[in-house]
Structures are given as C-alpha cells and as structure tokens.
Structure 1
Amino acid sequence: MPSRWETFIQRRSSKVSYTDQQKTFAGDSELAGPSKAWRSNYETSSASGDTFIQTTTNTSSEETTSSSNTFSCEKVKAAFGNPFCINSTDEVLDLEPAENEVIRNGEVKLGNRLIRSACIMKTACFATVGIGTGIAAVFILIFQEVMAEFKYHALLNVLDNHQITSPLVILFWFSGVIIPLLIGCLIVIYIEPKAAGEGIANVIGYLNGVNTSTGNTMKIMIVKFFSVFGTMASGIAGGMEGPLIHIGACIASCISNLRLPFHWCIRPEPNFNQPFRRLQTDLHRRDLVGGGMAAGISGGFFAPFGGLIMVLEEGLIYCTSDVMVGILICSIVCQVFVVTVMSIIFGCEGCQNQRALLFFSTPTKSNGYKYRDIGLIILEAVIAGLLGAAWNYCQLRLILLRNIYVKTNGRRISEALVLALITAGIGWLQLAGLQQNCVDEPSDVKGFNFASLKLKCKSGQINGVGTLIGLSQPSAIKFLFYDSDSFDMTTLLIYSITYFFLSTATMGTYISAGIFVPNILLGAAWGRFYGEFWKAVAFPYEDFRPHIFAIVGAGAQLCGVIRVPLTIAIIMIETCSAYYLTLPIFIAMMISTVVGNTINESIYHIQCLVAGMPIIEKDPSPLCMRISVQDVMEKSVVSLQKEESIQNVLFNLMSTTHNIFPILKGKILVGSVRRCQLIQILRYNLFNKDFVQSYEIMKGNDNPPWTINDIDLNLYDLDQIIDLGLYMNNSPYSLKMDSSIVNAHKLMSHMGARHVIIVNELNEVVGILTRKDIVYLRKKVSTCAVRLIYLPRK
C-alpha cells in the first residue's frame, strides 16, 4: 500500500508537471544561454613546471537534481591521474544573515534588549570555547610531561643495567613505540575514523564556508583527545598541536547546541531548551569555530596573537572587526587559563611572566645577529621553501596511494604497525650507532619539559641523538635551540634525513597527529646543522651563533609546508621569546613562502582540494573579467510565486534538494526564500503565529535540522495559500546575466553569499550561480609566476 507521501506525489504530479515549473522562470529560449557542456572538459597548464587539471560540475544538492551528470572525484582521479576536483556533494554554509519581514518586525519589538543579549551570549560563548580548549590543552600537556618523565626514568633504569644491544633494551624500546601507537590507532579506526590525522583542513574548509560540520562533532573531539595520547606516548613524528586545534573547533561547533536540563519544566518544546539558540546560525557557528582554532594555537604554543593571525590567513571569509575581537578574546582566555593552571600544577609561582613556561625558550649567550648573517638566513629560507614543497609533494603522493591501497581496517592497522616498527628501528639504530657522539650538557635551560640522556658520554656531556629521539619533542627542540659552542654535525645530518621521511610517512595514518611540532623539530635539526656547517667552514674563529639558524630554520621549514608567514613568525617570536630575531624571522618566513608557492600549494590547501572542497579564494582569479555569469550559471532553477499553496510548496521541497527558491510576482523577481525557512514555516505553522513567536523560531536554526520527511501532511490544508512575502528576503543578491564572474566572486567571498540569482534586463530570473560554478577558475600567483587555469567555452 503506498505511503501518504507517495500518494501525495502521485496526486500532485498529475496536476503540475515539473517541466512546467521550470518554464515558469526560465524565460524565452533565446535567454537560455550557451550550453554548459564545455564545463566537462579539462585543460592542462604546465607553466612553471607543474601541471594542474581543473574541473567543476553543475550538479549538487543545492543546484540541480539531475542524476545523469553525477560527478565522481574517484572517476576523475582514475581517468586523468589528477588529485584535485570539486566534490558535488559538499554543501556551502549560509553566511548571509537571514532577513525578512518577520525578523525585522521581531527585532523592532524586542528593541535594544535583543542586541545586548546577543552580544553577551556571543562573548560568553567565545570565552567558554577558550576555557574548554584550555582544559583539553592542560590535560594533553600534563600527559606529555608525565609520559616524557616516565619514559626518561624507565629508559635510564634499563640502560644502567643493560647494554643498548641487549634483547631487553630492544624489547623495551620497540614496545614503547608499538603499543601506544596501536592503541591510538585502534581507537580511531573502530570508534570514529574521522578523528584520524590533524583535522585542520576540515576546519579551514569550514572557515571558508564549506559545510564540514560532520567533522566537528563531540564524538570526534573525544576520540581525537584520547588518540593523541597514543601519539605522544609512542614518540612518533607527530605533534599534539594540530589535533588540539581540531579539538577547539569541535568544542566551538558544539557549544551553541548546549541544552538545558529539565527544560520540560519551563517550556515543553524540544527546540527551546537551548540558551544559545540564536547563535545556531551558520555564520555564528563559523565565527565560534574560528575562535576554537585560535584557542588551539594559543593553548598549544602559548601564542594568542598567532592564533588570531592564523585564522585570518587561512581563509576566513566575510569577517568583521567584531568577529576578530571575539576570536582574540577566545585565544587570550585559553592562554591565560593554560598558563595559570600549569604554573600552579608545576609549582612555578609567577611563571606567567617567566621564560620557563615557554616551550622553546632557551637562554642565549649572544646579543643578537650580525648583518653578515642575513645573507645566510636568506639562503636558509630558500632551502626551507624547497624542502617544504618536497614535503608537500611526498604527502600528496602518499595520500593518493593510501586512497588506492589502504582502504580496509586491516590494512590501516598494518600500516600503523609497519610505521611503528620503522620508527622504533631507526631510532634504535641511531642510538646504538651514535651513542658516543656527545655534546656539552645545557646547564641553564629551565622549564618543566627538558631532560637529556648521557649513554656513554662523560660528565658534563650528553648524547645528542639520545636527547633528540628518546625524549619529548619540546625537549629536543629546546636542545637544538640552545646557544652552545659545540654540536655534532653527523648526528644532526643523520637525524634530519631520517626525520624528514618519518614525518612524511606518519602524516595520513589513522592516528591523531599534527604536523606543526614535527616540522619545527625537522627545521631546527637541519637549521642547526646549517649553522654548524658555516661555523666550521667560514667562521671558525669568530663569534658565530649557530642556534640562530636553528630558530629561523624551524619556522622557515614549517612555513614552507603550511605557507602562513605572519602566523609562523608570530608563533616563533612568542613561543621562543626571540624578539631579538624579529627581522630575520620575518624575512625567512616570507622567502620560504614565496619559494614554496612557486612550486606547489600549501599542505592544507592540498588536502582541501583532494577532498573536493569548493574552497573560494579571497580575491577573484586574475584575467577573468571577460567571462560572464551566463557562461557558468545553472539554468535549472525552481521558483515559487509570492502567494503559493501549501501543496505547491511541499511538492517543490519534495521533488528537489535546492537550498534556495527565487520568489516571483508573475515573472519578475521580488525575493528569495531558503529551504530551511520553508520547512520551519510548515513545521511550526508560522503562518498562524504572531511576529514575536515567528522571530524566535526563524532567527536560529533547528538542531538537529528538520527535513521535509518530518512534515506531517495530516496537519495541513494542502490548498491553503501562504503569503511568502512575509518570510522572503526581498533584496536577494542578484546580477545581470552579462555581469562578470568577478562580481559574483566578490559577493561570495566578501559578502558571504551562497547563491547569486541571475536576471535579465526585465528582472526576470534566467539562472542561478553558486560557489561551485566559479571555483573551477584557479589562480596560481607568486612572485615568480602568475597563472590562470580555466575551462574555455565550447
């Protein structure tokens, strides 16, 4: 027996043809514009040495319902070997604030009280996100220190009684890497696979307006929180700062969904037990996620301003000064909370103003750098840019190989096991082979995260490779930043080469691990080797300080990978307290970024593009003013009249997945209404409520959001007429059909528009434009090259 929905669709389809609905808005045939078949072609540009294949599609759940043009990223990769594509299933956030007569009247009646309460609620949410991220950071940092001290003393006890080549030492060393890594891997694979990796690409996509909210859930946050313990305990080439950023974003994404207990005693409606309901819009949630990302940087590096700058550098579109203030509040609250709690726990009274709490801060014997060092720093930055580009290239190829060969849980566990065996084996070989390579022991390095191994070294000396491998990453970085007069170059060279390949192999496995600290450690290692080399070759008898090149190389290496120069420069200055190196650090960051961008994309943009996210740049692609919106617009638009029957509204919601519906008066565009708003109107019977009640419902989004399947047809008179003029935005973003796509790009990136309606000279709707229609134009701009890859019209 057919269901009520099937009966309704059959009855409705016998009255109105879907084709007739399309003819209502499409206009005359001569206005239909050129065919979009040209968009399925691919063009390759090999300028400056690398090849890109750009493509897009005209099918998405918000653009068209045609199934014949279903786009498959896997098919493109298999057919063309190109990793970049646009995923047709990815949705875009509604960053444009909702506006209609109901909301305007509700704001007038509620007055200034509404503005004050909204400001207080949002500030409270930012502060709560900062505290929540700070709590996670405190637990992670405490575990890191406790585990580092436990491993240090356990390793000392074993080495005091046995040779490093004895079976007991080998068993202890390998089990200390394999067991924690497998535990962290199994947690991710069998509980929440989305918690694997760093998660920052997912956060960047969300800040850019791509709906990746399914990757920012509470379950992912909890799994990632416990999985990162396995990463730190195993000692693999992965950090905790990246996962902490994702944890902060998850907290921010969930904070507006908090529910009050015993809400039924106050108001029985299930969707009114949320104190932050007005912040449940895509725009407010996106702003809070930006605060969570900044708080993760602040809690991981004690660099609140670095967190704010990273959010701005990594694609936060449609941003205002109020949002930046809120993000900075979140970042500062997190930093103050973490520093205060850590100083209390470790008995470091007054550490808020001391260098001991800074991760990578060490005392220096020199007063700064000399101008002769600038030339060497420039060369070092060029090398860092090349190594960063090589690191990204290796990551891209490994991602593609994993997508092909590592798809089952068994293979994912086997990959983690092989990685653990290789990491432990390389570490043990270096310890056994270089146990007599000793350096002077740092005597004045303060802080709760530094320790060292002596092995076979004399009194007053420590083993270099033992300190780099056997202890925590912050201890190794402090060791490399220490301003000493001697350092073993053989140890540095071997460690740098092996750690480069270990760090590239570690990223992408099914465990929560970040790339920040591993790349800082890698850059510090080869940067220290770089400084020691020049000291031995050119400046053996002068006051030449190699530790300067370790500090600069650490930041330049990381910047060559993620390409956010201002962020990395501020983080290095704040974290290392290296204010005397401000100019060299900024010079190195800029040069490293330019060199890396000349070769390939940053690692996070590579991950976003491989995932098919429709990332939009802040500035439109150059040389594309000659392309008009009618060349790329989608013509399959479904519209509604200003006064529609419930039957017509339900049918269009049921038969399409479009996110927006233009509202017409005859054939003239008079407004637009979102899909979620139509569902709210029907679900809550808003056409029978007053303005204040309707405002409380329409100002925020339902969580979880209602769908068309939640509508009960028995509650409605299907022939009843709804005046959609009360609920439509009567000034939607629109462009004339001969406008350049540059104008559409500006509306989407600067104004937060999700859709742009295309009209003719008579203001009749002829098409609609979404982000996916314009992101196929990719610009590649650097100091050495400016390239535009676009698909020509056929």
Structure 2
Amino acid sequence: MTSASALRQRLSRFGQWALRLELRVAPTESQRLFALTLLIGVACGLAAVAFHFSIAFAERMLFERAILAHGQWWVVAGVLTPALGGLAAGLLLKYVVPNARGSGVPQVKVAYASTQGALRLRDSIGKLFVASLQIGSGASLGREGPTVQICSGLASALGRFGRLSPRNRRRLLPVGAAAGVAAAFNAPIAAVTFTIEEVVGNLDQTVLSGVIVAAALAAVIERSVLGTHPVFSVPQAFGLNDARSLLLYAALGLAAGLLSVVFTDGLLLARAKFRKQRYIPDWAQPAVGGLVTGALAVAALYWLGTSGVNGGGYKVVEKSLSGLLPVKVLLLLGVAKLVATIFSYSSGGAGGIFAPSLFMGAMLGGAFGSLDRTIFEHGPEAMGAFALVGMGATFCGTIRAPMTSVLIIVELTSGYGLILPLMIANMSAYVLARYLRPVPIYEALLEQDGIHLKQRGSLQALDQLKLSTLPVQGADRARLRPAERASDLLQSAIPVGQHVFPVLNGADELVGLVTTDELAVLEQDPALGPLITASDIMRPPVSVGVNESLLTALDLMRAERLPELPIMDASGSLLGFIDEATIASAYLHESDPRSQPGSAAAEPSAVSKARTST
C-alpha cells in the first residue's frame, strides 16, 4: 500500500506539472497568428511560382505545340486546342471543383464578408490545375485572379490547421490575397493597396500589418526564383516631355473608361446569355469560349502575324511598350482580345481578367501614342509611354482600384516618370466608369449569382456599439484568490451559468482566469484538488475595457475561446461580465428598425451607473 500510495503521489505531481505546462507554455492565439502570417507569405510565394511554371509548361505542351503543327494543320490544331482545353476544364469544374470557376477574387470577397472566412483547400488546388489547363490550352484569361484564390485558400487552410478562431481565420484571407498578388505581379506595394481597396475595404489595422509582411515575403520568394527583373521590360525610361500631351492622356483616360464599361458589360451580358440558354450543357460551355478564342488567335497569327489573343499576352504587351506594333495591329488585337476574353470568361472558365484588361489598355494606349506622334511630332517612345498609361487606366476602370492601378504600373515597369499622366488618365477612367456603371465588376458578378455583399454591415454595427451602453451582468459571480485551493472551489456552490472565474489579488486586481475546462480536468482526479491552487491553473488575465466595442469583445472571446469576459473600468476594477448571448441580443436590438432613441436602450446603462458609482 505504501508503494502504491507513493506511486499515486508521483503520478499526481506529474499530472500537475503537465497541466501547468499545457496552460502556460502553449503559444497564445496571437503568437500562432503571427507565425502563420510568416508561413503564409512563404507558402503563397512558392504556390504562385508553382502556378506560374504550371501555366508555362501547359502552354508549351498544348497551344504552342498546336500552332507549330506541319502545313495547314496548325490552323485546325490552333482552333481546336482551346476548345478541347475548355471542354476538359468544364468537366472538372462541373463534377470535381465547381467552386474553382471564375477569376477567384469574388470567392475571396464572399468568404471575407462572412464571419467564418472559410475557403476550401480543395478548391484552391483545383483552381491551380484547372486554370493551368485552360490558360495553357489557349484561353484568353490571366493567372493573377486565380492566384488570389489559391493563396487565400491556402491561408484559410493553415488557419484551420493552427486552430485559430473563425475571426482570425477570416483575417488571414486578405493576408493570402496580398501574398498572391505580390507574387503574381512581382509588386508587393500594389498588392497591399489592392487588398485594402478590393478585399478588406478599409484600413483595418489588425489586418494591415499581416498583409504587409506576407506581401513582402511572397515577393522575396518570387524574386529569388524568377529573378528581380520587372514583369515588363521597357526599352527606356518614359517621362512627360511635353505638357501638351496631358490633353491626350486625359482623353486616353476617358477612352479607357469607355473601354472598361464595354468590357464589363460584355462579360455580364454574355455570362447571362450562357446561363439562360438550354441547348449547351454548362460543362460544355467553356469549350464554346475556347472555340471562339482559338479562331480569333489563329486569325491574328494568320493575318497580323502576332500572338497575344490567347493567355495573358504579356510578350505582345512588351512589344507595344517598345513601339514596335503598327496602329492597325494595335486596334485589331485590342478588339480580338476583348471578344476572346468575354467568351473565355463568360462561358464559365477558370481564369482572371487582370491580364486581359492590361493587354487591352496597352493596345488602346499605343493607338493614342500614334496620335500623339502625329499631332505633336514626338518620337517613337510616345507610343510606349501611352501604352503604359493605357494599361493603368483600363485596369482602373475595370477593377475600380485607383491606388492600385497607379502603383501596379510603376512596379511592373520599375519606372516613375509617368506618375502625373497615370494619375490623370486613371482618375478620368475611374470617374467615367463609376458614373456609367456604379457597381464594380466583382460585385456585379456576385449579384448575378444572387449574392449581395453587405460590406460587413453586422461587424460594423458591433464595432459601433460600446460595452458602456449595455446592462452589467455577473457582478455577484464567484471570484477566486491566487492561494485558494482548487478543492475548495470544487466543493463550493458554483453559480449557474458561470464559466469563467476571475482571480483577484489582495488589491482586487485581475491576475488570471480559471475556466470550467480546468475544473473539469481536476474533477477527473480529485486527489489533485488539495495540491493545486488557483495560481497553478489560472490562465493569463484577459479582459475588456468598459469603453471598448462589442466587436472587440467578440473577437477576444473567439481568440481566447472564452464564452464570457470580465469587464474592467478605467481604474482596473471588475465591473461584471459580457457573454456572447448579450452581444447577440444587443446586435438584434440595434438592427431592429423599431428601436428608437427614446426607448429603454437609450437610458443610462447599469455599466455606466456602476462606473459612475466607483
């Protein structure tokens, strides 16, 4: 019996040590969030590079090999290869990964607008393979939008693996999106502004720091593998050499705004037509888009002697920046790219519209550059300068991200000489496009799917509500002292509904928390009760100030996995508790249109009274 008693005592001590280790050594959620942010930056950089190589490999094996066929067979192969690629992609999107359809940015926006912020890793992996197949076979789509979904899905999966709360998993979505854009465009600064403008929608400081870190890390990974050179190589540094050209730059901005409206309207109209018709099954519709794209690509190669209709067309964009394309080729390529992208995307393909919008802008800008040469007798470099500005203006009118549209052109070319023309043209395109079509393209696509983003309305409502407006609860709940034995607490009558027990020192300062989870562990081994005090099992002190918002309290509850939190006044005194049910009730009351300022909710709250009395 003596040896058994000694063994039991040793096991009890070991259990006590293990419990302390678990409660005090395990990383907090904030620490896990920071570590995952670093990991996401690296992982997304590698994923974007893998996607880049995957598309390049598919292009070499499919479309480029098709147009190199002997004799006139290249015409047939060039037309059928995008169609067959679209057919294969349509089958995969129908039966394997239906959520991989489209560009990927709308999916990320929907996930971020929800409270869970979840994207499936399966959809991200499927996006990589299906988009590689379709773009590589000749579809007129870009890789940048899919990269956003791929990296955001990867970030969401890592957040689940790290056991983060739904709120923090949601915060990782823009982190992944920024890392994806930074690696896809080799443009970390533009990636940050794009994420703020298009995904987050505001300067959320809790998200911004992670976005910056992940974008920088992803860009470092991308540059270490693909090189430090910009995406587009320009033959010379462009600049504004004649102020008279500003008039044409402003006109280019207006033309780009009209082009972007035609482009987005064409996408939405063709998409609606494809969905409305009943003759072609949805899994075969991408083949129709591929057939149209293939025919236009072959026609451009046959009559114009140049590619660019298929894929992103970046090599042809570089030619336009060098002023090597005549006006006729610029205009015809721009129209062909417009039609091909509308059919490739609207038929249900997997790919983005970033690159096509840049391509069309370069063609339009090059044409304006030729006009500038004719009117003001400038040199051939004018065509490249106008092509560059046209890229930014069309991107701005299409995507509606004005800051990003300026910075992305600067980073894509590593040139700053055209900042003023870029700002003038981009703002002209943005204002005109927004005036003609107030709803941006991604929101319009979602509305066509029956999804209406509420711009985080519920979260904003919680952020505006303060704890001081709510009635205090739990002022009479049980409180512990650091030296209090756990056995005494287990034997005492625990108030019904209390899940968190504040541990207060002699000065009534909050020094820790004990939850029913710790008590449940002790109940399984009553012999540990007399050996363990509250200071042994308590968690670090977590509380919320009386002047904080309900959103702050809710985020903290989820981050720490606590059903309720202590409310502290400015002097550090415990006022009461706030739980999820109280937050939900306050939100429902605030959302009720019948609630009026003169109702009971407008009366001084018990929290305010308690704060005044102290």
Say yes or no: TM over 0.5.
yes
**Whole-angstrom CA distance in 1 between matches of 2:522 and 2:259:** 62
- Please give the residue correspondences for 1:114-133 in structure 2 after superposition, counting only pairs within 5 Å: 117-133=28-44
Quick one: structure 1 residues 154 and 735, their matched pair in 2 at CA, closer, same or farther if it must change by over 3 Å?
closer
Per the alignment, residue 602 of structure 1 pairs with 440
Quick one: structure 1 residues 551 and 619, their matched pair in 2 at CA, closer, same or farther if it must change by over 3 Å?
farther
Residue 54 (structure 2) pairs with residue 217 (structure 1):
no
**Whole-angstrom CA distance in 2 between matches of 1:687 and 1:734:** 35
Amino-acid identity (%) = 20
Please list every run of 5 or more consecutive structure 2 residues that lacks an aligned counterpart in the other structure: 1-19, 462-472, 476-496, 498-514, 525-533, 543-555, 562-575, 604-614
Per the alignment, residue 91 of structure 2 pairs with 186
Amino acid corresponding to residue 349 of structure 2 in structure 1: I
**Whole-angstrom CA distance in 1 between matches of 2:272 and 2:560:** 38
**Whole-angstrom CA distance in 2 between matches of 1:189 and 1:315:** 27
Per the alignment, residue 383 of structure 2 pairs with 546
**Whole-angstrom CA distance in 1 between matches of 2:194 and 2:123:** 23
- Please give the residue correspondences for 1:299-338 in structure 2 after superposition, counting only pairs within 5 Å: 299-314=183-198, 316=200, 319-338=203-222
Amino acid corresponding to residue 512 of structure 1 in structure 2: A
Structure 1 counterpart of 2:170, from 273, 278, 286:
286
Residue 296 (structure 2) pairs with residue 420 (structure 1):
no
Per the alignment, residue 591 of structure 1 pairs with 428
Cα deviation code 1:146-193 (max 9, x no counterpart): 4445568746754xx53xxx2x22232123322333222222211021
Structure 2 counterpart of 1:488, from 308, 311, 326:
326
Residue 30 (structure 2) pairs with residue 140 (structure 1):
no
Q: Which has the higher helix share?
A: 2
Per the alignment, residue 445 of structure 1 pairs with none
Shift of 1:598: 0.4
Per the alignment, residue 483 of structure 2 pairs with none
Shift of 1:418: 1.6
Structure 2 counterpart of 1:476, from 304, 312, 316:
316
Moved more, 187-196 or 174-183: 174-183
- Please give the residue correspondences for 1:445-594 in structure 2 after superposition, counting only pairs within 5 Å: 463=305, 466-469=306-309, 473-484=313-324, 487-535=325-373, 537-540=374-377, 545-594=382-431
Per the alignment, residue 363 of structure 1 pairs with 235
Quick one: structure 1 residues 412 and 685, their matched pair in 2 at CA, closer, same or farther if it must change by over 3 Å?
farther
Amino acid corresponding to residue 446 of structure 2 in structure 1: C
**Whole-angstrom CA distance in 2 between matches of 1:256 and 1:138:** 22
Amino acid corresponding to residue 321 of structure 2 in structure 1: F
**Whole-angstrom CA distance in 2 between matches of 1:400 and 1:153:** 32
**Contact residue 293 and residue 311 of structure 1 kept, 8 A:** yes
Per the alignment, residue 108 of structure 2 pairs with 203
**Whole-angstrom CA distance in 2 between matches of 1:757 and 1:288:** 37
Shift of 1:420: 1.5
**Number of aligned residue pairs:** 494
TM-score normalised by L of structure 2: 0.70
**Contact residue 193 and residue 510 of structure 1 kept, 8 A:** no
Per the alignment, residue 458 of structure 1 pairs with none
**Whole-angstrom CA distance in 2 between matches of 1:299 and 1:566:** 18
Quick one: structure 1 residues 376 and 762, their matched pair in 2 at CA, closer, same or farther if it must change by over 3 Å?
closer
**Whole-angstrom CA distance in 2 between matches of 1:478 and 1:538:** 24
**Whole-angstrom CA distance in 1 between matches of 2:194 and 2:399:** 10
Shift of 1:581: 1.2
Describe the SS at the equivalent of 1:364: coil
TM-score normalised by L of structure 1: 0.55
Cα deviation code 1:386-427 (max 9, x no counterpart): 111222222232343344336x9x612332222121111122
Amino acid corresponding to residue 501 of structure 1 in structure 2: V
Quick one: structure 1 residues 232 and 726, their matched pair in 2 at CA, closer, same or farther if it must change by over 3 Å?
closer
Q: What value does the CA root-mean-square deviation take over the aligned residues?
A: 4.2
Per the alignment, residue 657 of structure 1 pairs with none
- Please give the residue correspondences for 1:644-655 in structure 2 after superposition, counting only pairs within 5 Å: none
Describe the SS at the equivalent of 1:238: coil
**Contact residue 197 and residue 509 of structure 1 kept, 8 A:** no
Per the alignment, residue 139 of structure 2 pairs with 236
Cα deviation code 1:567-596 (max 9, x no counterpart): 111111101112111221122222211111
- Please give the residue correspondences for 1:14-33 in structure 2 after superposition, counting only pairs within 5 Å: none
Shift of 1:603: 0.3
Shift of 1:492: 1.7
Per the alignment, residue 261 of structure 2 pairs with 389
**Contact residue 271 and residue 347 of structure 2 kept, 8 A:** no
**Whole-angstrom CA distance in 1 between matches of 2:458 and 2:264:** 24
Describe the SS at the equivalent of 2:334: helix
Shift of 1:370: 2.2
Quick one: structure 1 residues 545 and 114, their matched pair in 2 at CA, closer, same or farther if it must change by over 3 Å?
farther
Per the alignment, residue 636 of structure 1 pairs with none
Quick one: structure 1 residues 412 and 314, their matched pair in 2 at CA, closer, same or farther if it must change by over 3 Å?
same
More relative contact order in 1 or in 2 (CA 8 Å, sep 6+)? 1
**Whole-angstrom CA distance in 1 between matches of 2:40 and 2:165:** 15
Quick one: structure 1 residues 562 and 733, their matched pair in 2 at CA, closer, same or farther if it must change by over 3 Å?
farther
**Whole-angstrom CA distance in 2 between matches of 1:432 and 1:142:** 28
Cα deviation code 1:498-519 (max 9, x no counterpart): 2212212222333311000011
**Contact residue 91 and residue 284 of structure 2 kept, 8 A:** no
**Whole-angstrom CA distance in 2 between matches of 1:585 and 1:513:** 27
**Whole-angstrom CA distance in 1 between matches of 2:346 and 2:230:** 29
Amino acid corresponding to residue 313 of structure 2 in structure 1: Q
Shift of 1:292: 0.7
Amino acid corresponding to residue 524 of structure 1 in structure 2: A
**Contact residue 364 and residue 483 of structure 1 kept, 8 A:** no
**Whole-angstrom CA distance in 2 between matches of 1:588 and 1:114:** 56
**Whole-angstrom CA distance in 2 between matches of 1:620 and 1:153:** 49
